[in-house]
Structures are given as structure tokens and as C-alpha cells.
Chains A and B, each alone.
Chain A
Amino acid sequence: MAAVALHRGTPRKTVIVAGIVAAWLLLWLLFRNLATLPLDASALTPLHRWVNDLNDAIGASRNTNPLFLYFFNEIRLVIDELVTFIQALIAQSGFGRPVPVIGWLGVVALAGYVSLAIAGWRQALLAVAGFTFLGLQGLWAESMDTLSLTLAAVLISLLFGIPLGIWAGLNDRVNRIITPALDFMQTMPTFVYLAPLTLFFLIGPASATIATLIYAAPPAIRITAHAIRSVPHETVEASESLGATTKQTLTKVLLPSARGTIVLGINQTIMAALSMVTIAALIDAPGLGKTVVKALQTLDVGTAFNAGLAIVVLAIVLDRVTTAAAARRATASRPVLIGGGVATLVAIYFSYTYLWAAEFPSEAEIGSSIRRGTTAATEWVQDNLPVITGGFKDFTTTVFINPLQALLSESPWWLVAAVVVALSFVIGGVRSAVTSAVCLGLLVATGLWQDSMITLAATLVATVLVMVLGVVFGVWMGRSRRADRIIRPVLDAGQVMPAFVYLVPFLALFAASRFTAIIAAVVFAAPVAIKIIADGVHNVSPTTVEAATALGSSGWQTITKVQLPMARRALTLAANQGLIYVLSMVVVGGLVGAGALGYDVVAGFSQGQLYGKGLAAGVAIVVLGVMLDRLTQAAAKRWDQQEVRSGKA
């Protein structure tokens, strides 16, 4: 936080901030370890117990309370039905059959055929190869469970999302109303609403699907609205001027013109759904996520890697196919489609009738080799490269993480609160100070103050690392087209991967620790920051850069005096987004030894008596997020105004 403010304030402000920090350090020495509000891992506050009781009460009234009988339970049943139906089709035994209706051969053929029809033969080949690989990994059933949940969530998301998006695209007022709601749905760390959802929809597929919906529907709504809005006004006018009715303009002009973008929105929804479905393993959603979570909890890197790889393969196939579909104008020729359709039907029939086409043959399995190979490689790295892995880890931990954590978590709570409020006031004025004060009060109320401070320390370290990476790579990409061409696809690929997957390699390299969690969060958040900064630097007017070069600026001078200052909006946005992304990884980090709030949330899912505490920890993460988000935005605004004023002077 302070880093952002210090970065480019007026000199007077910088002095004030430095003064506050100095005072903090001094008082920290005096009052160290006093009033730090610690709470043992198994200890509970009255609030946590009250939430536990509430949970029990709700559980007891689930079959008597009309709100449950006629509302929540109905929703749960409908969604459960849908999920069970899709699972029975492709993933689980159902309809009185010991195997799914469509076996692996049918699913592979269907995936290939759909890809062929909407995206072309290259994507069809990719889909066939990818799905077959899932079977070879020995994870066919798990993969299909994940796919079923994803499909169910995507179907429901699109059912509501596309019409809502069209409405918002046509109507300014609707757009104004839903935009903040969507912002909220998207910025809230995902697993925070997992726990409250289980209160109402029980642990299982229904809660998982609803959580996924909340996370995955916003992109579809937002991008559809945006697509409708970005159809050139003149094109709409042209249609109107020819006497088209509103409906004709919508169906013949707006929707077809927006089609490509809407499909991109569907792509985002699918990717978000996939990533959330894996995280929903925390509340017992079936599928690959569960395999990963179990493996992470037992530190079985080989199994985690194999299942993580399956998630990656699934993500790549879904992403490539839908991206290609968005870019395409014409579909495959009619004879090809008919021929492919017949072949697919035959494959589905085989997979319905014969066991060899229904269950993936286990002789062809290579998953166990992947698991063994990974485990061996991990052991080798840990045995032979401890200087690099361990050294890097220890250095970062002792130089960055420990001091900051000590400062935050060993200061009296009132001292930290005073410092944060003071800094907020300096950065964003009275409003920011009030917001921060309220958030800090809520943190104290959750009973998890010290855990919050430990998490805050990790978050700040991770965010600083994200910004360092963001500036280095962002400037490089912004200045060099070639660098952009090479790095951007890697970042894109990184962003579609479900958050869990990042943990696996770092767990292999660094074992379970705070550091592993931080690095995973950095890797998760860096692509966003890098892209934002790269675009910001790239969008600096080339004329201005040319003028600077013509005046004899060195490359370094051009970067520091022209490109970065002019891209300052991108920098603040990157810091803001970086923070949010890092925070959203806190819980996932809790699985690999991050401790503190992340651990509290994870433990809350698995142990009944810690339920209330986990919920409180989730709230604490949100409160931290809100506070940091408001503060960075206030800083960004201040900074902008300052530049405008000094520009005018």
C-alpha cells in the first residue's frame, strides 16, 4: 500500500508517509507483542460459535422452514437433477445402466464433431486428441464429472446471462444497474461465497454449480452487453432508416454483428466455470478438482500433477475450440458435416452398446507413469538443487516476508489500525480514512485480527512481486512487438488455467510453506498486471515517444520519463487488479501451508466445529479486499488529479 503511495506523491506527502512509517517502527519496538489479538488454530470466539449454532439451526429447519421447502430446496433439486442428468449421459452410471449412456468413444466423437462444426478441423483434431489423452491419464470418469458440472453451470449461466446481457446492451438504465452488481460478483474472492452457499444448498454439486454460476455468469452478461453496445451506431441507424422494426434490427443487425464477441464471452464463461468447478472441490464437488485437493492435502505431487495436467488439457481444448468459433465466419461444408454426424452417431451407438467403447480401456493407461515420473523428478530437484530452490525460498522469506509479517502481526492492533487510517487519510482524504476505519473494525470483530495481518503481509509481498514482474515484462512487451508476440500467448494460456494448477509445480519445488503460496499467487496475478501495463505502455502516443527520442533521450530515460508516467493509469490499475487476484488466491494458498486466513477457510469446510471460524475468515478476506481496493483506487484518483493540476500549472 505504502509503496503505491510513495511511488509518486508530492514531496510533502512522501515526507508525511515516511514519518508515519517511522513512527510505526518506533512504536512497534516499544509495544511489540502487546494487544496483537491472537487466536489459536482451534480456538473460537463467541461470534464463531454463534455462526456454528446458526448453521446447525438452519440444518435442522431445512425440511420444515417454508423458505427452504419452497425455495432453496427447489433450486437445489432442479440443479441437482440437471447435474445428475448430464453426469448420467457422460460421466456416471445412470438410467439403470452400470455405465454412462454415452461412453468414452461417443464423447470423444461428439467433442470432435462439435468442434468441427463450430471451429474447424484443426480444433476438431485437438479436441479428439485432448479427450483421448484424458482417458489415457486414467482420469476419464473424473474428467467427465468436471465437464458435466462445467456444462451445467455454463448452460444455466448462458440461459440467464445472454438475455440479460442483450437487455443491458439495449437499455442504458439496466446497464447502469447491473454493472456494479457484476463488479461485486467478479471481485469477490470466489470461495468466500462457497461457505454461505453450503448453508442454504448443502455441500455437493448444487452449491458447487451455484458458486460457479456466480463466478461464471458475469463475463457472459458483461461481454454480451458490450458486444451489443459496440455495434457502430451508424449501422443501427442504417437499419432503422430502411424501415426495420426493433426486432428486425436486433435479430438481423445487432445479434449477428455481435456474434463473434458474444462467443468470446461464452469462452470466458466456460473458462471461469471450469476454474471454479475445480475450486468447488473444497465443498465436495466431484471431479478432477477433488483429486487435486486430496493429493495436495497428502502432498502427493505426482497425483496432483497428473490431475492438474488433465485440467490443463481440458482447459486448452475448451479454450481453443471456443476462441476459434468466435473468429470464424463460415462453418464446414455440408457433406463434411453430414458425414461427420453419421460417424459420430455410429460412435455413440458403439459406446452405448459395447463395453470396450463405454469404459476407457485400462491397458492403455499412462497416468501411473506420469505420476511416478513426476514424483521422481520432484525428488531429484529437491535433493539436487536445494541451493537454488531452498536458497531462493529462504532468502525471500527472511528478507521480505518475515520482517513485514512481524511488523504487522506483532504490532498492537490499535497501532496498525491508526497507521492504516492515517495513511488512508494522506492518500485518499477523509472518505478513504473512514472506509479503512470501518474495515479495520470489521476485521477486529471477526476475531481473526492476527491471522488477517499475516495474510495481509503475504498479500503485500506478493503484490509487490507482481508489480515488479508487471513493470519489467510489461515495459518490455509494450516496447517490443516481438516480445509481445512471444510472451502474450503464454500469459493468455496462464490465465485460463484454474488456480489450483499453479500450486502443483511450486509445491514440488518449494514444499508446503508460506512462500509456496505467495509464489503461486504471484504467478496467478502477474499475467493480468503484465498485460495491463504492456497495453498501457503500448498505447502511449508513438509521436510522444518519437519526440522524446528526437530530443536525445536514452532508452532508460524514455521509459522512466515518458512511457511509465504516461501509462500511470495502467500502473495503478495493474496494482489494483494484482491485489485482487493475489487475495483471491489466499484460500488456495491455504491448502499448501499459507496458514492464517486461507487455512481457516479451508479448515472451516472440512471440520464442522470450525465452520463459523471459516466463514468469519472468508469475511475477513473480503474486508481486506474491499479496503485495499478502495485505497488503491483512491490513490489512483489522487494521482491522476495531481498530474492534471501540475500539468495545468
Chain B
Amino acid sequence: MDPVISVRDLWKVFGSKAADVVRSDELRGLSRNELRDRTGAVAAVRGVGFDVAPGEMFVVMGLSGSGKSTLVRCLTRLVEPTAGEITIEGENVLKADQKRLRELRRNKFSMVFQHFGLLPHRTVIDNVGYGLEICGVQKAQRAQRSKEVIDLVGLTGNEKSYPDELSGGMQQRVGLARALAGDPDVLFFDEPFSALDPLIRRDMQNEVIRLHREVGKTMVFITHDLSEALKLGDRILIMRDGEVVQVGSGDELVGAPADDYVRDFVRDVPKSHVLTLKWIMRQPRPDDALDGPELGPDTVVREAVRSVLSADKPVKVVENGELLGVVADEEILGVVAGEA
């Protein structure tokens, strides 16, 4: 399947000499600080490339200043990239003129913001319908569509409220509804839940998982919170100083960190919640009894603990009828004990 979003060698450099920086191989090679000291330019995004598959939930994770917010703004050209290539559904976004760009924004993709970006002078239903209004959709039709997405995000009954009458979580539901109203193919989330309380954040994460399942849209989700990334992401891209450090699924990041930076990051993650059996299984030894129960290689360790510990023989890890390896008490305990 062709990727929905394809990004190649994307650069965003701030400063008057931005264009020079991306043209020079020497300057491209410098670290962020060296570059700033030499040219005064700040490279927020440095040669980033990745693909997002249709219907995938793709998470970009990094600490503040890692360039992740700039990256997502480059994808929608809210920030104009300095160099590189962005293809969304086969169309080169950077080649689009202002008119085409507006069409893309109106129909193909939309964004949810960290601080919601709602219009304080409009009611919920008018906020949700804003995107349709600027496309020239008639009022009755607008109201009907807005009502649908308001119901979809669980805001039924709040149509006539103003944003400042709602809690943070509900305001972000309005932001979500607004992004969904135009029925875009791709949704971008810029740290949408970092301004919310932990409990509400958990609700909203579940809400996004539910919506992702129900509407099946491709989503790019920016966060600085590793547990949020692991919870939501089909795949996760870790950014540092504007560069990609590693791209992979949650268990790949925890099981095979690309470098010390990622290793340090995932150190406190409860491994049993993330790792699957394929990461801890071993080749069967001659003395292993091979008539024990079977589990798939993508079974999460936490869910396998009971079966493995209660069986008196090692559990076989089997995929498509092929024996990949075995897991016994010692492997399970190694993971669980390692967390303590």
C-alpha cells in the first residue's frame, strides 16, 4: 500500500541565512549549536524523513525544543519548510500555490492544537462549523454536519455554550470536532492533551483511540509524553535536536533502542506492558518439553505472565504453525523483576 504521507529530507532553518545552510553540505553536517554559533541560524528540523501508512496512528515524540511542533507545522505549511519534500496522497504539498494549499487544508487535512485555538466569541456549534463556513457551506447544512461531529466527540447538549464555559477537556473535544467537521483524510495533533489534567488526559487518549477505530483516519500525533506515545502509536518517531533518532513500534523502541538517548528514555517504561514474547523468547534447548501451550509472538508479556507461570512446561511461541522459540518462567521473571 502506498503511504498517505511521505516526507523526505525535510529541513526547517530559522534565520536570515536559512537558504545557505541547506545548500551547503558542510553546514548541514554541523550540530545545532555549532550551526548557531557559526551562522546565527537555528535548525529546528534537520533532514527528517518518514512514511505514514493509510489509517496509521503515527506518533512523533520528543522533548521540548526537539523540533516536533515545527515538524508538524511544516507538514501543513503553517511554517514554510526551508527544503525537502512532502507528499500527501501522491501530491507534492510544497509545490501547491496558496489557492491549492487552502483547498488541501479545507479538504485533505486538519489540525488539533495544544491550546485548542478556539474562537472565544463563537458558540461551540459555530466553532465546529467554522471550517465549513469558510468553504462557503450553507448554514443549514453546516449546522447538521456540526451537530453530527459534536455528537461523535461526546459534546451533545453543549452546542450553545461558549468556549470559556467549558472545561479544558471539553474545549479540546470542540477542537477535535472542528478538525473532524470537514471530513479530512489526515488529522494532525500538536500535543493536544499536554494542557490537560492527568485524568482528563487519559479520557481524551481513550477518546482518540475510539475515534481512530471508528473513523479510521490517518493520524499524526505529536507528544512529549512517552507513555502517551506508547499507548496511542502504531509507530513512534523519536526526535532529538531536530533529527530522527529512531522510528519503530513501541516494543521495538523498548526492545532494541537505537542509541543511549532512546535507551535512557525508555528505561522507566514497564517493559512487561510493552514488550511482546518475540523480544524475550529463546531457542528451545534439547531438554525442553515441546508439548506446552502455544502463544503468538505479538502477545504482550503482561498478558502472557499467567499462562507461562501456570504451565509446568515452557510456552511455545508459534506463528503460522512455525515454532519461533519458547518462553519459560525465567524469561518472564527476568522482565517482571527487571522492572522492580
Q: Give the B-binding residues of A (Cβ under 8 A).
A: 232, 234-245, 248, 252-253, 256-257, 259, 329
Task: Please tell me if the beta carbons of A239 and B106 are within 8 angstroms of each other in the complex.
Answer: no
In the assembled complex, how far is the CB of residue B74 from the closest CB belonging to chain A, in whole angstroms?
12
Task: Please tell me if the beta carbons of B117 and A252 are within 8 angstroms of each other in the complex.
Answer: no
Inter-chain contacts of B175 with A (CB < 8 A): 238
In the assembled complex, how far is the CB of residue B191 from the closest CB belonging to chain A, in whole angstroms?
11
Given contacts A253-B119, A257-B121, contact A238 B111 (CB under 8 A): yes
Complex interface residues of chain B between 287 and 305 (CB less than 8 A to chain A): none
B128-136, B201-209, B238-246, B328-336 - the one binding chain A: B128-136
In the assembled complex, how far is the CB of residue B77 from the closest CB belonging to chain A, in whole angstroms?
9
Cβ of B169 < 8 Å from any Cβ of A? no
The CA-CA distance from A253 to B110 in the complex, in Å, is 17
Inter-chain contacts of A237 with B (CB < 8 A): 73, 78, 111, 113, 117
Inter-chain contacts of B76 with A (CB < 8 A): 241
Task: Please tell me if the beta carbons of A235 and B117 are within 8 angstroms of each other in the complex.
Answer: yes
Task: Please tell me if the beta carbons of B119 and A242 are within 8 angstroms of each other in the complex.
Answer: no
Complex interface residues of chain B between 99 and 132 (CB less than 8 A to chain A): 101-107, 110-111, 113-122, 130-131
Inter-chain contacts of B131 with A (CB < 8 A): 242-243
Cβ of B271 < 8 Å from any Cβ of A? no
Task: Please tell me if the beta carbons of B134 and A243 are within 8 angstroms of each other in the complex.
Answer: yes
Cβ of B182 < 8 Å from any Cβ of A? yes
Inter-chain contacts of B101 with A (CB < 8 A): 243
| Residue from A238, A244, A252 in contact with B113 in the complex, judged by beta carbons closer than 8 Å | A238
In the complex formed, the residue of A with least CB distance to B76 is A241
Task: Please tell me if the beta carbons of A232 and B182 are within 8 angstroms of each other in the complex.
Answer: no
Inter-chain contacts of B107 with A (CB < 8 A): 243
Which of A234, A235, A236, A245 has most chain B Cβ within 10 Å? Answer: A234
In the complex formed, the residue of A with least CB distance to B105 is A243
The CA-CA distance from A245 to B119 in the complex, in Å, is 16
A-B contacts, CB under 8 A, total: 70
In the complex formed, the residue of A with least CB distance to B121 is A256
In the complex formed, the residue of B with least CB distance to A248 is B134
In the assembled complex, how far is the CB of residue B333 from the closest CB belonging to chain A, in whole angstroms?
47
5 pairs of A and B residues whose beta carbons are closest in the complex: A238-B117, A243-B106, A243-B105, A242-B131, A234-B117
The CA-CA distance from A252 to B122 in the complex, in Å, is 10
Cβ of B178 < 8 Å from any Cβ of A? yes
Task: Please tell me if the beta carbons of B78 and A242 are within 8 angstroms of each other in the complex.
Answer: no
Mind listing 29 A-B residue pairs with CB under 8 Å? A232-B115, A232-B117, A236-B117, A237-B78, A237-B117, A238-B111, A238-B117, A238-B175, A238-B178, A240-B78, A241-B76, A241-B105, A241-B110, A242-B106, A242-B110, A242-B130, A242-B182, A243-B102, A243-B104, A243-B106, A243-B135, A244-B102, A244-B134, A245-B102, A252-B134, A256-B119, A256-B121, A329-B121, A329-B162
The CA-CA distance from A235 to B73 in the complex, in Å, is 14
Inter-chain contacts of B114 with A (CB < 8 A): 234
The CA-CA distance from A245 to B98 in the complex, in Å, is 9
Inter-chain contacts of A232 with B (CB < 8 A): 115, 117
| Residue from A236, A245, A252, A256 in contact with B133 in the complex, judged by beta carbons closer than 8 Å | A252
The CA-CA distance from A329 to B162 in the complex, in Å, is 10
In the assembled complex, how far is the CB of residue B98 from the closest CB belonging to chain A, in whole angstroms?
8
Task: Please tell me if the beta carbons of B130 and A239 are within 8 angstroms of each other in the complex.
Answer: yes
Task: Please tell me if the beta carbons of B113 and A234 are within 8 angstroms of each other in the complex.
Answer: yes
The CA-CA distance from A259 to B121 in the complex, in Å, is 9
Task: Please tell me if the beta carbons of B133 and A234 are within 8 angstroms of each other in the complex.
Answer: no
The CA-CA distance from A238 to B181 in the complex, in Å, is 13
Which of A236, A238, A248, A252 has most chain B Cβ within 10 Å? Answer: A238
The CA-CA distance from A329 to B117 in the complex, in Å, is 19
Task: Please tell me if the beta carbons of A242 and B121 are within 8 angstroms of each other in the complex.
Answer: no
Given contacts A242-B106, A243-B102, A243-B135, contact A234 B116 (CB under 8 A): yes
Inter-chain contacts of B122 with A (CB < 8 A): 256
The CA-CA distance from A237 to B114 in the complex, in Å, is 11
In the assembled complex, how far is the CB of residue B187 from the closest CB belonging to chain A, in whole angstroms?
11
In the complex formed, the residue of A with least CB distance to B127 is A238
The CA-CA distance from A439 to B102 in the complex, in Å, is 57
The CA-CA distance from A241 to B121 in the complex, in Å, is 19
Complex interface residues of chain B between 119 and 163 (CB less than 8 A to chain A): 119-122, 130-131, 133-135, 162
In the assembled complex, how far is the CB of residue A283 from the closest CB belonging to chain B, in whole angstroms?
43
The CA-CA distance from A248 to B76 in the complex, in Å, is 18
Inter-chain contacts of A244 with B (CB < 8 A): 102, 134
Complex interface residues of chain B between 164 and 178 (CB less than 8 A to chain A): 175, 178
The CA-CA distance from A329 to B118 in the complex, in Å, is 16
Given A241-B188, A242-B110, 12 more A-B residue pairs with CB atoms under 8 Å apart are: A237-B73, A237-B78, A238-B178, A241-B111, A242-B106, A242-B134, A242-B178, A243-B107, A243-B135, A245-B102, A248-B134, A257-B119
In the assembled complex, how far is the CB of residue B133 from the closest CB belonging to chain A, in whole angstroms?
7
In the assembled complex, how far is the CB of residue B155 from the closest CB belonging to chain A, in whole angstroms?
17
In the assembled complex, how far is the CB of residue B79 from the closest CB belonging to chain A, in whole angstroms?
9
In the complex formed, the residue of B with least CB distance to A256 is B121
Inter-chain contacts of A252 with B (CB < 8 A): 119, 130, 133-134
The CA-CA distance from A242 to B180 in the complex, in Å, is 11
In the complex formed, the residue of B with least CB distance to A245 is B102
Inter-chain contacts of B121 with A (CB < 8 A): 256-257, 259, 329
Inter-chain contacts of B134 with A (CB < 8 A): 239, 242-245, 248, 252
The CA-CA distance from A257 to B115 in the complex, in Å, is 16
**Beta-carbon contacts of B182-216 to A below 8 Å, as 1s and 0s?**
10000010000000000000000000000000000
Inter-chain contacts of B73 with A (CB < 8 A): 237
In the complex formed, the residue of B with least CB distance to A244 is B134
**Beta-carbon contacts of B310-340 to A below 8 Å, as 1s and 0s?**
0000000000000000000000000000000
Inter-chain contacts of B104 with A (CB < 8 A): 243
Task: Please tell me if the beta carbons of A243 and B103 are within 8 angstroms of each other in the complex.
Answer: yes
Inter-chain contacts of A257 with B (CB < 8 A): 119-121
Inter-chain contacts of A253 with B (CB < 8 A): 119
Task: Please tell me if the beta carbons of B130 and A235 are within 8 angstroms of each other in the complex.
Answer: no
Inter-chain contacts of B113 with A (CB < 8 A): 234, 237-238
The CA-CA distance from A239 to B101 in the complex, in Å, is 13
The CA-CA distance from A585 to B320 in the complex, in Å, is 93
Task: Please tell me if the beta carbons of B78 and A241 are within 8 angstroms of each other in the complex.
Answer: yes
Inter-chain contacts of A245 with B (CB < 8 A): 102, 134
In the assembled complex, how far is the CB of residue B78 from the closest CB belonging to chain A, in whole angstroms?
5
The CA-CA distance from A243 to B179 in the complex, in Å, is 11
In the complex formed, the residue of B with least CB distance to A259 is B121
Inter-chain contacts of B110 with A (CB < 8 A): 241-242
Inter-chain contacts of A248 with B (CB < 8 A): 134
In the assembled complex, how far is the CB of residue B125 from the closest CB belonging to chain A, in whole angstroms?
15
Inter-chain contacts of B105 with A (CB < 8 A): 240-243
Which of A242, A243, A256 has most chain B Cβ within 10 Å? Answer: A242
In the complex formed, the residue of A with least CB distance to B98 is A245
The CA-CA distance from A240 to B106 in the complex, in Å, is 9
Inter-chain contacts of B102 with A (CB < 8 A): 243-245
In the complex formed, the residue of B with least CB distance to A238 is B117
| Residue from A235, A243, A329 in contact with B119 in the complex, judged by beta carbons closer than 8 Å | A235
In the complex formed, the residue of B with least CB distance to A241 is B111
In the assembled complex, how far is the CB of residue B181 from the closest CB belonging to chain A, in whole angstroms?
9
In the complex formed, the residue of B with least CB distance to A236 is B117
In the assembled complex, how far is the CB of residue B178 from the closest CB belonging to chain A, in whole angstroms?
7
Inter-chain contacts of B117 with A (CB < 8 A): 232, 234-239
Inter-chain contacts of B115 with A (CB < 8 A): 232, 234
